[in-house]
Amino acid sequence: MGSNPTPSAMSVDADAEDLHDPMLLALAEARAALEHHDVPVGAVVLHEGRVIASRHNEREVTHDPSAHAEILAMRDAAAVLGQWRLDDCTLYVTLEPCAMCAGAAVNARLGRLVYGADDPKAGAVTSHFGLLDGAVLNHRVEVIRGIGADEAAELLRSFFRERRSGNPR
Ligand SMILES: [Zn+2]
């Protein structure tokens, strides 16, 4: 993990490893949601390369319709930073955010979103609405998608497969 001895001139685009490590954390969070029968989605917020929030979906366990992983993680991150603006932050989430979470990301002035699997049903970033492209809502969020997508999608598929096969919930 040592520091890079030669600071690169092109520092904007993070390399692949930089994106995958936080996504592994988000995937671990997603698996933790299974312990209370919540849909396995996990989210992590990074600020200046440091993880400042790490949460998973808690809708079932808290009976809170807004308790998506992204909302909880952004709340924690804002509390850590002592400000609602998350423009220096990157939100990692295993699944494409819904309209509520994409809206919250705009309201937080989020700097960057990295997500795993597309959500063709409810995704509001790429699949529908394009809420983060700045055209409708007046803030554009840089978006990188497809990181850890296979594992994120498989977690969801097996969750719903098990639920259909008669397990409680
Ligand atoms: Zn959501």
Phi, psi (deg, nearest 5) at residue 67? -85, 45
pLDDT digits (tens, 9 = 90+) for 75-110: 999 999 999 999 999 999 999 999 999 999 999 999
d(CA 153, CA 143): 18
DSSP helix/strand/coil, 144? strand
Phi, psi (deg, nearest 5) at residue 132? -100, 5
DSSP helix/strand/coil, 55? strand
Global confidence as pTM: 0.88
Please give the distance, rounded to the nearest whole angstrom, from the Cα atom of residue 82 to the centre of ligand 1.
23
Q: Which residues sit opposite 53 in a β-bridge? A: 45
Report the half-sphere exposure of 19 (CA within 13 A, side-chain side): 19
Amino acid at 60: E
Residue 52 in tokens: 């400042």
pLDDT digits (tens, 9 = 90+) for 38-70: 999 999 999 999 999 999 999 999 999 999 999
Decide the pairing of beta strands 89-95 and 42-47: antiparallel
Q: What mean pLDDT do residues 15-25 have?
A: 81
Around ion ligand 1, residues with a beta carbon closer than 5 Å are: 68, 98, 100-101
Report, as residue numbers or ranges, the catalytic residues: 70
DSSP helix/strand/coil, 135? coil
Residues 38, 20: contact at Cβ < 8 Å? no
Please give the distance, rounded to the nearest whole angstrom, from the Cα atom of residue 122 to the centre of ligand 1.
9
Residues 99, 123: contact at Cβ < 8 Å? no
Phi, psi (deg, nearest 5) at residue 68? -75, 155
Please give the distance, rounded to the nearest whole angstrom, from the Cα atom of residue 13 to the centre of ligand 1.
26
